[in-house]
Amino acid sequence: MEIISENKPFAYKNQDIGQGRGVYISTYGCQMNVNDSDRMYSLLEMANFTPVDSPLEASVIIINSCSIREKPVHKVYSEVGKYRKLKDANPKLKIGIGGCVGQQEKEKLIKNQPMIDFVFGTDTIDTLPDILNDLILKEESKDDKKNRIVKAGFAHREPYHVETLVRNPGVSTFVNITKGCDNFCTFCVVPFTRGREKSRPKTHVLQDIHTLVKRGVKEVTLLGQNVNSYESECGTSFADLMKTIAKETGIERIRFTTSHPKDFDQYLVDVIAEHQDKICEYIHLPFQSGNSRILERMNRGYTREQYIEKINMIKKTIPNVVLSTDIICGFPGETEADFQDTLSMVREVGYETIFAFMYSQRPNTKAAKFEDQVPDAIKSERLQRLFDAHNTMAFDLAKAYENRILDVLVEKKHDDESVAGNIKFSGRSRQNKLVYFEVPAAHSDLIGRTVNIKITKAYPAVFRGDMVGSIN
């Protein structure tokens, strides 16, 4: 899982004070959080607020923060502190905390930091317009009571009805299909911050994708903490949902994340293989540790051998598959020998990309209470060794793409980097590779088109190439 930070630095000047209904959202976390921020912007736009690019222009600042790793609450307080001068200059400025940190900390945030006006959780995003209107109304009625709002309950019994709201969907966008998780891996805070797993009705997912296709979207990524265990109200499985999307919606490409090895079965792999015209042959399958004893302590529900069996099944059915994974280094009780099992797993499977992190203790989780925590210095040294080992392999795997022709869905035009008479574009291949290429200025309208690119230079994270053949 990729961790993203979307907040941009800003420089405060005395004359800059946000007025009106401008909203600025600072986002930390995984793709789920980025998607939630987009939803917040959409909901607030419908309630007559305006998204702004800088906290300086905002009358509402929201920090949408992740609590998966690294001292998230400290990060939130430190970011709120950065807005002190803005709040002093404009006492009407409202500051709110959302996302997993809001869900987890609730009233504590308000108690500990008087600058925070409201807190909401992952299940109460849709109440944001009401929260802000309440705050504004109370202010206008000159209610003397310090007006602060906390809405961070879980709607455990309510179905997961959440229309996809994307402001500018572009070429590729995300569609939520599940939310929350029932797996309770001992290191993970998600079941506590996102609640129990719920699936969206199949008809709603299909309707969203139909609408997105009409808006020009070519690729969707089906999103959830564990998409493989999707089950609609009428019993449709994840594999069958993908099959229907591939057959009925007119979308050109389908991706999905995140998968869980225990729920990845032969039927799903068959569906991917059968619909490779639409479903990309890129699979992100987190293994977390290469040692079965550690996997058991993590409550992952599979052994090393079972994971490898699944990988072999995938490779046999989809011979051109590209694999990536998530790994935790230094889980409590991990010995050097256990870590060697992780290193050997990376080599044996041949992942083109890995997302690896040092284990960190998260509130409420079982592993946080394990007594055999691994010292930070060892965790960090193992992480570095893991990256070093993977790096050598990743360069070789990338090299094998040189001279191959890949289908690239064009997503971006880079006017600022284009040189005389040429235009630079970038897009993603089916294998999820970021590919840059240049074409004569006559081809100025490639965004949303799929082009054939012959790869001339391939590095692990970025490819370069030349366009060949016709444009689809």
Q: Which residues bind ligand SF4 (CB under 6 A)?
A: 181, 183-185, 188, 190-191, 225-226, 260
Q: Which is nearer to ligand SF4, 135 or 181 (CB)?
A: 181
Beta 198-199 vs 219-223: how paired, if at all? unpaired
Tell me the C-alpha distance between 37 and 64, whole Å: 7
Q: Shortest gap between Cβ of 224 and ligand SF4 (angstroms)?
A: 9
Count the Cβ atoms, other than its own, within 10 Å of residue 359: 25
- Give the N- to C-terminal CA distance of the chain in Å, as an integer: 31
Q: Which is nearer to ligand SF4, 183 or 303 (CB)?
A: 183
Cβ density class 43-54: b for 16+ within 10 Å, e for less: bbbeeebebbee
Q: Which is nearer to ligand SF4, 27 or 258 (CB)?
A: 258
Q: Is 188 helix (H, G, I), strand (E, B) or coil?
A: coil
Q: Shortest gap between Cβ of 357 and ligand SF4 (angstroms)?
A: 12
Tell me the C-alpha distance between 107 and 363, whole Å: 16
Q: Shortest gap between Cβ of 365 and ligand SF4 (angstroms)?
A: 9
Q: Which is nearer to ligand SF4, 185 or 318 (CB)?
A: 185
Q: Shortest gap between Cβ of 191 and ligand SF4 (angstroms)?
A: 5
Ramachandran quadrant class, 99 (left: phi over 0; alpha: psi -120 to 50; beta: rest):
left
> What burial class does residue 355 get, using C-beta atoms within 10 Å of its C-beta: 0-12 exposed, 13-18 middle, 19+ buried?
middle
Tell me the C-alpha distance between 301 and 288, whole Å: 12
Q: Which is nearer to ligand SF4, 260 or 297 (CB)?
A: 260
Q: Shortest gap between Cβ of 336 and ligand SF4 (angstroms)?
A: 24
Q: Which is nearer to ligand SF4, 69 or 75 (CB)?
A: 69
Tell me the C-alpha distance between 117 and 146, whole Å: 9
Report, in this order, helix, strand and coil percent for the chain, each rounded to 5: 35, 25, 40
Count the Cβ atoms, other than its own, within 10 Å of residue 351: 23
Q: What are the φ/ψ torsions at residue 271 (nearest 5 degrees)?
A: -65, -40
Tell me the C-alpha distance between 154 and 123, whole Å: 6
Tokens 């569609």 locate to 175
Q: Shortest gap between Cβ of 97 and ligand SF4 (angstroms)?
A: 21
Q: Shortest gap between Cβ of 183 and ligand SF4 (angstroms)?
A: 4
Report yes or no: 251 and 212 within 8 Å, Cβ to Cβ: yes
Q: Shortest gap between Cβ of 284 and ligand SF4 (angstroms)?
A: 12
Q: Which is nearer to ligand SF4, 181 or 272 (CB)?
A: 181
Q: Shortest gap between Cβ of 192 and ligand SF4 (angstroms)?
A: 9
Count the Cβ atoms, other than its own, within 10 Å of residue 101: 27
Q: Which is nearer to ligand SF4, 68 or 166 (CB)?
A: 68
Q: Which is nearer to ligand SF4, 263 or 438 (CB)?
A: 263
Structure-token pair, residue 149: 């709002």
